[in-house]
Amino acid sequence: MLREELGDFGFSDKEIDVYLALLSRGEATTSTISEDADVSQQAVYNITARLEDRGFVRVNDHASPKTTRAIPPKKSMANLTERIGSITPILTDRFNDTKPQTPELKMVKSQETALKRLRNAISNAQREVIVAIPEHVYPEIEAELQAAIERDLLVFLFVQDVDDLDEARKRFAGAANVVRCWSESILFLYATDTQSTNPSISQAALIGDAQLLSGNHDSGDGVAVSERHLAGSVHGVYFSAYWPAGTEVFITDPDPLPKTFEWFRQAVFQAMLHQKADTDLWAEIDTTSGETISGNVSQIRQALIEPTTNEYTLETSLYLETDVGEVSVGGQNAIIEDYEATSVTLQPN
């Protein structure tokens, strides 16, 4: 272990041999070190010179014969720590804190690992959380879901293996912005902050068998991903293939207005809640083109809550009546809509 640790500090194998031989004697001549370490005397001369430069030994050139003395490790390590500390601020200034260039793609095969990843993903999310779990797993993440709601995140919860919907309405109220339940138990899935264009926001997703959370080894597995497009695909699978199969058992109350939303799906979600409450809405929207558009909200296209109003799968958009006519606005990476929003302010009209 000691040799491995010294290797991590940049010691070569021969440097380790010489240094350990010298430590055992405290001080020794070149010939003695050579014999103890089984290294040639010329190599000892070169190695002790390098160790002296790094603060681990002191060479006594005035002695005859010349000797080398090990600096007490407590002192040499303290000096090394001080040197590391002195350059850390400089290195920090030069460090470009970017997201990893290599996205994660990892198999997950244990319940413990899957639950740990799920809790961490919910706790680290900054905009949105989507989760699909078997009912028996809910107590394991209840606290994290409630904390996400308190942070004003948009949270969708899909609970499987649920037969009693009336009991589910009571149990899961407040656990998410929307809760849907399903009697089947097929998949385990989560995704956070998918489609975010902010490089400081980490995206995480996992999709796998519901049996992965059964606690039995070799009963299921999953794949964890962090790459934006792959995480976005998990989000797409969630809302296109599974979310429509569930029964809506809880939906939160609309937020007080006016309010500005930087997460577009949250703006569409709140707009739909207010429309269901018969509130006419005015929106002012900043766009990626630099324009600010405003007008009455004339249409809301979505499949996040009932009743669904989208015309094609995953459509999530707002339509405004402006001075130049009706325009459509989408969220991150909008393609079909006229504008891509960066923020949305809603207020009663």
Q: What is the pLDDT of residue 100?
A: 52
Are 208 and 114 in contact by the 8 Å Cβ rule? The answer is yes
Res 92 pLDDT > 70: yes
Task: Give the confidence band of 54 by pLDDT, cuts at 50, 70, 90.
Answer: confident
How much is the average pLDDT of 325-337?
91
Residue 102: is its pLDDT beyond 60?
no
Q: What is the pLDDT of residue 206?
A: 93
Name the pairing type of β-strands 259-261 and 339-348. Answer: antiparallel
Please determine, for residue 143, whether its predicted confidence score (pLDDT) is greater than 90: yes
Within 8 A by CB and 6+ apart from 97, the residues are: none
Residues 6+ apart with CB under 8 A from 159: 132, 133, 134, 135, 138, 168, 172, 179, 180, 181, 182
Strands 178-182 and 154-160: parallel
Q: Give 243's pLDDT tier (boundaries 50, 70, 90).
A: very high
Beta-strand (E) ranges in the chain? 27-29, 57-60, 67-70, 105-108, 128-134, 154-160, 178-182, 187-192, 204-209, 222-225, 247-251, 259-261, 281-287, 292-301, 317-322, 325-330, 339-348
Determine the Cα–Cα distance for residues 324 and 190; give it in Å rounded to an integer.
41
- Rounded Cα–Cα distance for residues 26 and 21 (Å): 9
For residue 308, give the DSSP letter.
P
Separation between Cα atoms, residue 257 and residue 254, nearest integer Å: 9
- Which residues fall within 8 angstroms of residue 233, CB to CB, at 6 or more apart? none
Please say if the pLDDT value at position 48 is more than 60. yes
Q: Which tens digit of pLDDT belongs to each residue from 274-327?
A: 999 999 999 999 999 999 999 999 999 999 999 999 998 899 999 999 999 999
pLDDT (tens digit per residue) in 254-276: 999 999 999 999 999 999 999 99
Give the CA distances from residue 255 to residues 67, 177, 270, 273, 303, in Å, rounded to whole numbers and listed in that order: 78, 11, 7, 9, 19
Residue 126 has pLDDT above 80, yes or no: yes
Q: At what angle do helices 111-124 and 138-150 cross, to 10 degrees?
A: 10
